[in-house]
Amino acid sequence: MRTQVAIVGAGPAGLLLSHLLHRQGIDSVVVERRSREYVEQRVRAGVLEQSTVDLLREIGLADRLDREGLPHHGIALLFDGVAHRIPMSDLTGGRAITVYGQQHVVRDLTEARLATGGQVYFEADDVTVLDVTSSTPRVRFTVEGRSTELECDIVAGCDGFHGVTRGLLPASARFLEREYPFGWLGILAAAPPVDDELIYAYHERGFALASLRSPTISRLYLQVDPTEDLAEWPDQRIWDELGTRIGHDGRSVNEGPILEKSIVPMRSFVCEPMRHGRLFLAGDAAHIVPPTGAKGLNLAVHDVHVLAAALSHWYATGSETGLDEYSTTCLNRVWRVQHFSWWMTSMLHRFPQHDAFQQQLQRAQLEYVVSSPAAATSLAENYVGLPWS
């Protein structure tokens, strides 16, 4: 087989890149090791920045998003039992976030690619990427017992943190990582949300977050030790702890059947550079951010937006300027977002090594953010997403 761009991974990054390339008349093939059902049901990120929503509208993929997505114009910081609203849209010239689950984004992108004749190979086994420093890299894989070799001009590694493509970077590449001493216990529950906007709670027992996926489905998180056994967290213990950390101003947490629950560690990760020869990494294959800032999916969208533009320019003119600048351009935003996510995480979580002095510094930071227009504006601008340059 032959294509122009081979894309490894059918998550948001890979599928969106394929769609953007299709709009520019550039052929691509997407190879995914999981089943279509799995990737379309995988619950991950749910907060879309303004620029992400704008792009999906621009390319005609926002019909369902506009019908079902939930625009949010503010968030609340909760501490000492009082919720302080940050009016994001008022502070950013009308920009907002939209709550729309990653699984819905993937579903929309998959349907769009298949409807336009896109080639997406799900359940691909033994995916191997070869010769990325040559002008004709190859991707080998097996689907339904049939071995296939795909020759291409470019390989886009959109296969996530545990994928195969990052392992092709040279020994000179840098891998920068920070592990946090806590994780998030997350649940999806058939219960009305606490509020119609997100609530970030700083509490002496640990951080908590009240989010939502619809007017009847809540997404809630608790800070826990990353080594906790999920079996030690029966449903009622979770609800009791959420009520303690998030209940405020006479408002309680609405309980209901828990549909999913899991514990995930918290980490920051960046690889530099995001390119090696004809291989370009995007999304979680290149960087991970703590979910406190709600940036992972949005960073992936920015990556492939930059990559699609660079590839379009290359195919149209032969100039490699955009490709040569890809890693630097993306990493500039990655590190800005890493800083914001680290700042939010550090301000809102209880660190086991912190003494009373450090805890008081966190409280002072929270007081400053909710009382200073400049500080609140900075939080709002970063949360809704700084405009793409």
Q: Which residues are catalytic?
A: 72, 200, 291, 295, 383
d(CA 28, CA 22): 8
For the beta sheet containing 275-276, the strands, ordered from the edge strand earlier in sequence to the opposite edge, are 119-121, 28-31, 5-8, 154-157, 279-281, 275-276
Buried/exposed code over 181-214 (b: 16+ C-beta within 10 A; e: otherwise):
ebbbbbbbbebbbbbebbbbbbbeebbbbbbbbe
Residue-by-residue DSSP string for 289-333: --GGG--HHHHHHHHHHHHHHHHHHHHHH---HHHHHHHHHHHHH
First to last CA, the chain: 37
Q: Are 263 and 184 in contact (CB under 8 A)?
A: yes
Residue-by-residue DSSP string for 33-58: SS-HHHHHH-----EE-HHHHHHHHH
Q: What are phi and psi of 97, to 5 degrees?
A: -110, 160
d(CA 30, CA 121): 6
Name residue 305's amino acid: H
Instruction: Classify 146 as helix, strand or coil.
Output: strand
Q: Which of 348, 345, 339 is nearest to 270 (CA)?
A: 339
d(CA 89, CA 115): 35
Q: Are 243 and 264 in contact (CB under 8 A)?
A: no
d(CA 218, CA 260): 11
Question: Where would I find the H helices in 80-145?
Answer: 88-91, 102-115
Question: Where would I find the H helices in 205-295?
Answer: 235-246
